[in-house]
Amino acid sequence: MPPRPIRPIRHADSRVKAVLGPTNTGKTHLAIERLCAHSSGAIGFPLRLLAREVYDRVCAIKGKDRVALITGEERIEPPGARWLLCTAEAMPVDADLAFVALDEVQLAADRERGHIFTDRLLHARGREETMFLGSATAEPLIRALLPDAEIIGRPRFSTLTHAGAKKLSRIPPRSVIVAFSAEQVYAVAEMLRRFRGGAAVVMGALSPETRNRQVALYQAGEVDYLVATDAIGMGLNLDVGHVAFAGLSKFDGVRQRRLTTAEMAQIAGRAGRHQRDGTFGTLAGSGSHDAEFSAEEIFAIEEHRFPPLTRLFWRDAAPRCTSLGALIADLEARPDRPELAAAPEAIDLAVLKRLAEEPDIASTVRGEGLVRRFWSTCSLPDFRQAGVDTHARFVARLWEDLRHGYLGGDYVARSIAELDNPSGDIDTLQMRIAAIRSWAYIAQRPDWVLAREEMAARARAAEARLSDALHARLTERFVNRRTSVLMKKLGPDAGLLPVTIADDTVEVDGEQIGQLAGFRFRVDPEARLADRKLLLAAAERHLPALLAERADRLIDAIAAGAAPLDLAGGAVRWDGDAVARLASGRSALTPQLRPDPALDALDPQRKRALLTALDGWLGQVLAPLAPLRKLETAATDPAAGPELRALLIRLVEAGGLLDRGESGLDRLDPGQRTMLRQLGVRVGALDLFVPAMLKPAALAAWQDAAQVRGGRMIPPAPGMPPVLPLAGKAAPPPGYRALGKQALRIDLAEKLLHAAHGLRVGSGKAPFGIDPAMAVSMGLGTAAYAQLLRLAGFQPIMPRPLPKGAFGPAAPLKWRWRPTRRQIEAARPTPRPATSAFAALAELVR
């Protein structure tokens, strides 16, 4: 067959750029920036995983209602989407977009998918700008095919250095071990599980969701190692310091061959991100066929010098569909350009030729429309990697329905439901995920499935459930370490088992065995352990050091004023767990700390340091009680007299707030009253109080100290507002006086009564009016204000009603003062201290 002329290369006025360089050069980041700078655009990626990752990033910039994700298995296309993230196969080549980019353009030399990338290289163009990203090995062919393209080279941000061969036990943390078969991946991951705590697993057969979750396991630091196939060479940006090759050859679908230096560099380039350098090497001690890099390969990888590509694979992207023969002939045609080579027979063409040989099927494909539809059916990707025969039978079954129109809804739903089973081992789940990906692809075709949205949603939900189950199986097998295996390695020495604390959970070798509450260890009765005694012994061996670390952390936090300590129930609590309790001290205001018995696990010196720090913290908490301590000291002074000393003791016991009628104030002489005022006690019409104690912190500290003696009191009101509502006959919080359905703070009650007495004095003996404005501004109701005045000896004089036939406002309410003797005494001003002999003589005469 003569060479077939390739479809004319699409020319446009846009600038075509080829941004080429090794890994970690920021090429993809540049493409995202250019995409977002244009009014519309699309980027084609080699993997659905990459397209999804960049879709999330662009959505964060442009908004989900303006960005589309288009892959074979998933389509998110808002009506007004202007920026498209696609797989290379799903790129809309003929769309009118301002910007178009293609990632990993060197894949045009791939045997299976190269012809797709070649077609996008030749014909995908943006209206204003076109960008191709990839390895520098593609530069000569791009120059030949696109002579007007601008070639931009980008250097690697970090250095990549060969580190030689290392045994698995010597592989540093944050490393990736690369193998080239599932069996080898499992073997290496199992070894890491036994000796290094576990590993995440990434293989090409995993679904993108499972791959993402395994990578997240590694990125979060839950495991320090990742075992992968060469699938990590493209599209996974990881926090990797070292890449170790378990082998340097692979089966490429045709033969077992050694990796090219470009392939080696693509994988090794995962080490070192941004400005951090990375290393690569091989895995030693794995058998008699340990892989080793040659000196030439090491030089090529470190210096990023690789032989250029010699050809790109091509296949006619717009074959004739007049007949099956013409279709196959066009797909097998050779290009007429020396830079291009006919693509090897891919799975879709092999299936097409196989089914075209069956008369029963070939006879149903008549006419251009059916030929085109049959070719799209044969183009269904072989996600299951089942081979030509098995995949052809699956396509033939689909064609039975598709040649008549649409797939039966019951058939699609039943097929998805049969696969939606999360039970089974790792291999079984991988096969189900591969099969469900086929149905996800089928459900995305609007011309194949009637209820496209419903079937696509079912397929996505089934894939998500299977992916969750596969992630759980991989984690259980390669991350959750079994203590029975470690016991065989370690023997009876429990001290060798690692003990860690995470969120107060104590784990021995990854197995939860209990909780640390404060400094007290509580064993988890439901802990699943292969040898409970051994692991408990390991915990007891390590607990003193762990508790000492917690004690040091608490001491430092107290010193910095950031310790999460509080007083509750007569105990000092750290994050809700008691570390010490209050005990009676020399007085009610100076309680002592009694350490919790759990602190006995600390060494004596650290225990004393912790108690000293707790004492200092307690002193700060009880600092608001300083005014009461001043009264307590005065109560021990014999010069104060028995009456004043008794009053001060009662004030201290009451928290500096005492009803005047029960205080015994009338038994004090003028000198004692003067001493009382000098101590900071305010004598009001109804109450005696220390103003400094009318604060939430002071009242809370007083209640904490009083709890040592078993006192139970109403907690102080938050913020101490002027007025509080009262329900029924409930007692008011400390510092408030009950006035019917309201409670008024006692210092404000004194302020109102002082104003009322000022009006009384100014009116002589005549009735007087009282302006309620001040009480209203405090939020006090009329009934509560009237009750307050009556308690202080004021009596209302009701106005006379208007005569019959008279109109106008009622006469204002008047008040008069008819107090008891005690109330007269309360209204008398507090005497000032004698400052001269005459003042003292006047006091004696009075």
For 258-272, what is each residue's pLDDT tens digit?
888 888 888 888 887
Instruction: Render 672-704 in DSSP notation, one character per residue.
Output: HHHHHHHTT-EE-SSEEE-GGGSSHHHHHHHHH
Count other Cβ atoms within 10 Å, centred on residue 846.
7
Question: Which of helix, strand or coil describes residue 508?
Answer: strand
- Quote the distance between the C-alpha of residue 104 and its chain's center: 32
Band (pLDDT 50/70/90 cuts) for residue 303 is confident
Lowest mean pLDDT among 283-297, 480-494, 658-672: 480-494
How many residues comprise the chain? 846
Band (pLDDT 50/70/90 cuts) for residue 636 is confident
Task: Examine the pLDDT at 43 and tell me if it is beyond 90.
Answer: yes
Question: Strand 15-20 to strand 129-134: parallel, antiparallel, or no bridges (unpaired)?
Answer: parallel
Residue 636: partners with Cβ closer than 8 Å, 6 or more residues away: 645
Task: Examine the pLDDT at 142 and tell me if it is beyond 90.
Answer: yes
Orientation of helix 347-356 relative to helix 388-402, angle to 10°: 70
Encode burial over 27-46: b for 16+ CB neighbours within 10 A, e otherwise.
bbebbbebbeebebbbbbbb
Question: Which of helix, strand or coil describes residue 15?
Answer: strand
Rounded Cα distance between 122 and 86, Å, is 18
What are the pLDDT digits (tens) for 311-340?
999 999 889 999 999 999 999 999 988 999
Rounded Cα distance between 401 and 393, Å, is 14
pLDDT at 839: 47
What are the pLDDT digits (tens) for 149-169?
999 988 877 888 899 888 887
Looking at residue 271, what DSSP letter applies?
B
Band (pLDDT 50/70/90 cuts) for residue 711 is low
Angle 234-238-242 (CA atoms, 0-180°, nearest 5)? Answer: 95
Instruction: Render 468-484 in DSSP notation, one character per residue.
Output: HHHHHHHHHHHTS--HH
pLDDT at 64: 92
Q: How many angstroms separate the Cα of 214 from the Cα of each of 220, 236, 265, 521, 579?
A: 10, 12, 23, 33, 40
Encode burial over 590-620: b for 16+ CB neighbours within 10 A, e otherwise.
bbebebbebbebbeeebbeebbebbeebbee
Q: How many angstroms separate the Cα of 781 from the Cα of each of 576, 796, 813?
A: 41, 16, 16
Residue 302, φ and ψ in degrees, nearest 5: -70, -35
What is the average pLDDT across 35-61?
A: 91
Task: Examine the pLDDT at 236 and tell me if it is beyond 60.
Answer: yes
What is the average pLDDT across 430-447?
A: 88
Rounded Cα distance between 2 and 334, Å, is 7
13-22, 82-91, 673-682, 738-747: range with highest mean pLDDT: 82-91
pLDDT at 828: 57
Rounded Cα distance between 212 and 199, Å, is 14
Share of the chain above pLDDT 90, in %: 22
Rounded Cα distance between 185 and 192, Å, is 11
Task: Examine the pLDDT at 832 and tell me if it is beyond 50.
Answer: no
Is the CB of residue 17 less than 8 Å from the CB of residue 76? no
Rounded Cα distance between 274 and 614, Å, is 47
Q: How many angstroms separate the Cα of 523 from the Cα of each of 125, 512, 513, 535, 644?
A: 66, 9, 6, 11, 57
Band (pLDDT 50/70/90 cuts) for residue 102 is very high
Residue type, 281: G
Task: Examine the pLDDT at 643 and tell me if it is beyond 60.
Answer: yes
Rounded Cα distance between 743 and 737, Å, is 5
What is the average pLDDT across 769-795?
A: 86
pLDDT at 280: 93
Higher pLDDT, 480 or 75: 75
pLDDT at 815: 84
pLDDT at 673: 86
Band (pLDDT 50/70/90 cuts) for residue 139 is very high
* Strand partners of residue 488: none
Higher pLDDT, 475 or 315: 315
The mean predicted confidence, pLDDT, of the chain is 82
Nearest Cα neighbor of 649 from 632, 672, 637 is 632
Q: Map out the domains of the chain as residue ranges.
A: 15-153, 160-303, 312-478, 493-580+587-609, 625-800+810-827
Question: Which of helix, strand or coil describes residue 799?
Answer: coil
Nearest Cα neighbor of 515 from 472, 484, 477, 550 is 550
Encode burial over 741-779: b for 16+ CB neighbours within 10 A, e otherwise.
ebbbbbbbbbbbbeebbeebeeeeeeebebeeeebeebe
Task: Examine the pLDDT at 728 and tell me if it is beyond 70.
Answer: yes
Rounded Cα distance between 800 and 362, Å, is 115
Q: Which helix (DSSP H) or strand (DSSP E) does residue 165 occupy?
A: strand 160-167
Lowest mean pLDDT among 187-191, 259-263, 830-834: 830-834
Rounded Cα distance between 100 and 96, Å, is 10
Angle 669-675-676 (CA atoms, 0-180°, nearest 5)? Answer: 90
Task: Examine the pLDDT at 115 and tell me if it is beyond 90.
Answer: yes
Instruction: Render 306-338 in DSSP notation, one character per residue.
Output: -PPP--EEE--SS---SSHHHHHHHHTPPBSST
Residue 128: partners with Cβ closer than 8 Å, 6 or more residues away: 14, 15, 38, 98, 99
Task: Examine the pLDDT at 218 and tell me if it is beyond 80.
Answer: yes
Q: Which helix (DSSP H) or strand (DSSP E) does residue 131 occupy?
A: strand 129-134
Band (pLDDT 50/70/90 cuts) for residue 489 is very low
pLDDT at 657: 86
Q: Which CATH superfamily is domain 160-303 in?
A: P-loop containing nucleotide triphosphate hydrolases (3.40.50.300)
Rounded Cα distance between 744 and 724, Å, is 7
Rounded Cα distance between 497 and 495, Å, is 5
Looking at residue 240, what DSSP letter applies?
B
Task: Examine the pLDDT at 534 and tell me if it is beyond 60.
Answer: no
Looking at residue 9, what DSSP letter applies?
P
Burial class (CB in 10 A: 0-12, 13-18, 19+), 731: exposed
Band (pLDDT 50/70/90 cuts) for residue 356 is very high
The token duo for 385 is 């990697």
What is the average pLDDT across 25-40?
A: 91
Higher pLDDT, 786 or 714: 786
pLDDT at 1: 52
Q: What's the per-residue H, E or C state across 49-79?
A: HHHHHHHHHHHHHHCHHHEEEECCCCEECCC
What are the pLDDT digits (tens) for 814-824?
888 877 666 66
pLDDT at 350: 92
pLDDT at 507: 67
Is the CB of residue 426 less than 8 Å from the CB of residue 474? yes
pLDDT at 10: 54
Nearest Cα neighbor of 49 from 228, 317, 223 is 228
Lowest mean pLDDT among 23-37, 326-340, 485-499, 757-771: 485-499
Nearest Cα neighbor of 274 from 358, 173, 156, 190 is 156
Task: Examine the pLDDT at 282 and tell me if it is beyond 70.
Answer: yes
Nearest Cα neighbor of 379 from 400, 396, 395, 393 is 395
pLDDT at 541: 66
- Torsion sign across C-alpha atoms 744, 747, 749, 755: negative
pLDDT at 314: 94
**Within this chain, domains 15-153 and 160-303 share the same CATH topology:** yes
Band (pLDDT 50/70/90 cuts) for residue 512 is low
Angle 150-156-161 (CA atoms, 0-180°, nearest 5)? Answer: 145
The token duo for 567 is 């007083």
Rounded Cα distance between 210 and 222, Å, is 16
Task: Examine the pLDDT at 31 and tell me if it is beyond 90.
Answer: yes
Band (pLDDT 50/70/90 cuts) for residue 424 is confident
pLDDT at 7: 58
What is the average pLDDT across 229-238?
A: 72
Orientation of helix 409-419 relative to helix 452-478, angle to 10°: 10
- For the segment(s) 15-153, the CATH number from 3.40.50.2300, 1.20.1250.20, 3.90.1150.10, 3.40.50.300 is 3.40.50.300
Question: Strand 249-251 to strand 256-258: parallel, antiparallel, or no bridges (unpaired)?
Answer: antiparallel
Burial class (CB in 10 A: 0-12, 13-18, 19+), 162: middle
Lowest mean pLDDT among 89-98, 296-305, 800-809: 800-809
Higher pLDDT, 808 or 163: 163
Rounded Cα distance between 744 and 730, Å, is 14
The token duo for 499 is 């003990």
Band (pLDDT 50/70/90 cuts) for residue 524 is low
Rounded Cα distance between 261 and 305, Å, is 9
Lowest mean pLDDT among 436-440, 511-515, 730-734, 778-782: 511-515
Nearest Cα neighbor of 304 from 51, 549, 566, 25 is 25
Task: Examine the pLDDT at 508 and tell me if it is beyond 90.
Answer: no
Nearest Cα neighbor of 440 from 467, 458, 466, 422 is 458
Task: Examine the pLDDT at 469 and tell me if it is beyond 70.
Answer: yes
Looking at residue 495, what DSSP letter applies?
G
Task: Examine the pLDDT at 594 and tell me if it is beyond 80.
Answer: yes
pLDDT at 482: 41
pLDDT at 484: 33
Orientation of helix 182-195 relative to helix 483-490, angle to 10°: 70
Residue type, 59: C
